[in-house]
Structure 1
């Protein structure tokens, strides 16, 4: 269910009258503290190791996770966000899903939220995620977050696109892979593990983290990191011959340096003074 926050706007006038968010918790959406911790860990690790690549999010809702991801962008890199926003869905099934879950979603609301934290918007592709490979270069992304359709055929295609777009050591994150109302996401996710060589790094209550590249170093380093935290239980699990970390983060504490609004619209990196 959505976290408590400002109401979703249903008209341009209502959007203009809404107060701008001053912290990430003010942005409506589903991005739990445990996953904020993991996003921070994976993205910060990529920066510290100087791993090249852009960022990509498929499915943005009102921008909560996109705002977070935008703070890990280095000069010269591109952050692409793909979402239908107000556009018609490509098929009847997807239209029903959009009307049921995201009827009030607007691109203007996303942009207003994002601009409250960052000076510049990401590259926005307002179109079905099925066409993302026409907008993003192959092997150009180090981190891909998939949170678009919950329908099997669309998620299956999004995973295939992520495989094509990720750098050799890039990380893909899949949302709602175990939710009872999203069996298509679960089928597509574990199907990819079973048939495409996708290696599971870890899972939380809502998200799956994996890679098609070498993963032993990342998994071991993540295990060491989690062992030092008293707020996130973790255990070992083997899936399709690959050791995986299972995480329970019900008591997880958000990253020590959360997203805050900049009066000058600077990004998270500038705000925290820890990333260039």
Structure 2
């Protein structure tokens, strides 16, 4: 446990960064972003709500030359209203911009563009039709999530992907209402559902769904069910012992992994080997055979202890 005067331990692996980014979502982020890149889809990246940077660090690995990456969070700044302020105080009191930046720079050479403030700043900071992938994990209040979804729609390129966190958590009903409202009346079309996130697009979800279904059916560590609801195909996924995609360790892991050379054990009487014994000569063997046993033992004892001295 760290005190107020101690710096938090430096992350050596992605798993060392605090936050909620399950393995299933890591696999889906990686697969969807790799698919975009293989198809030549270009565009910027955006994350709203970064906490300590776990998913932001993961996303940053997929930033390509010529693309821009923007993150937005209140950090320790003032919330725009009382409800948001209460939420931030309760759940994110330990979050600071410095903590996020320290974690991010442990894995990357440069920070993304950081917008510190409410997510309502995003429309003025990110160009329309500029992003290929948007991750929304900010406020859990309906009004804010509603606006965040509208902002995501405006900044995404055609067939760009939005990921909405906490769409079915028991403590976030406002997110659920905003997300399903977007599906039913704002044109959002689901690609798939993980345990906590809905992946969607305002483009055609069918091509990516077909490739995703083929990928999932080819592996035994992902549960799958497909349902129809309100004219949408809902692909539900669940991890069955999935392993996270490979992710390089932080620079601290390389710096701290200095080899330790074991120190030689101190010599002691109990560990020092005894000097080799000389084989007995022919004269000694003959004396042992001819002399009385009592005298033989006395001679042997004198050889071991050496001559006695007196003062």
Normalised TM-score (structure 2): 0.79
Pairing 1:227–2:217 present: yes
Question: How many Å separate the matches in 2 of 1:211 and 1:235?
Answer: 20
Within 2, Cα distance between the matches of 1:166 and 1:10?
Answer: 42
How far did 1:264 drift? 11
2:121 maps to 1:127: no
Q: For residues 62 and 104 of structure 2, what CA distance do their matches in structure 1 show?
A: 14
Cα 1:10/1:162, change in 2 over 3 Å: farther
| Greater relative CO, 1 or 2 (CA 8 Å, sep 6+) | 1
* Contact map agreement 1:34 1:204 (CA 8 A) in 2: yes
Partner of 1:14: 6
* Pair 1:260 & 2:249 matched: yes
Task: Give the whole-Å Cα distance in 2 for the aligned partners of 1:133 and 1:147.
Answer: 16
* Cα distance in 2 between the residues matched to 1:251 and 1:130: 38
SS at match of 1:14: coil
Once the two structures are superposed, the pairs formed by residues 159-238 of structure 1 within 5 Å of their partners are 159-238=149-228
Contact 2:69 2:113 (8 Å CA) reproduced: yes
Query: CA 1:254 to 1:161, structure 2 compared with 1: closer, same or farther past 3 Å?
Result: same
Structure 1 runs of 4+ aligned residues shifted over 4 Å read: none
SS where residue 85 of structure 1 aligns? coil
Post-superposition CA distance 1:37-56 (Å, at most 9, x none) = 00000111111111010000
SS, match of residue 144 in structure 1: strand
CA RMSD of aligned residues (A): 1.5
Q: How far apart, CA to CA, are the structure 2 residues paired with 1:55 and 1:183?
A: 27
- The 5 Å alignment of 1:44-123 reads 44-123=34-113
Shift of 1:258: 2.2
Superposed displacement of residue 144, structure 1:
0.3
* Deviation (angstroms), 1:243: 1.1
SS in 2 for 1:258: coil
CA distance, structure 2, for counterparts of residue 107 and residue 14 of structure 1: 16
Which string of whole-angstrom CA distances, capped at 9 and with x for unpartnered residues, describes residues 101-149 of structure 1?
0011100000000000000000000010012010000010000000000
Q: Secondary structure at the match of 2:71?
A: strand
Unaligned runs of 5+ in 2: 255-311
Larger Rg: 2
Which residue matches 2:229? 239
Q: Please give the secondary structure, in 1, of the residue aligned with 2:6.
A: helix
Structure 1: gaps (5+ residues): 1-6, 266-276
Quote the residue 1:271 is aligned against: none
Q: CA deviation at 1:263?
A: 6.2
Question: Which of 23, 31, 50 lines up with 1:41 in the alignment?
Answer: 31
The count of corresponding residues between Structure 1 and Structure 2 is 254
Tell me which residue corresponds to 2:288. Answer: none
**Structure 2 matches for 1:17-28, cutoff 5 A?**
18-28=8-18
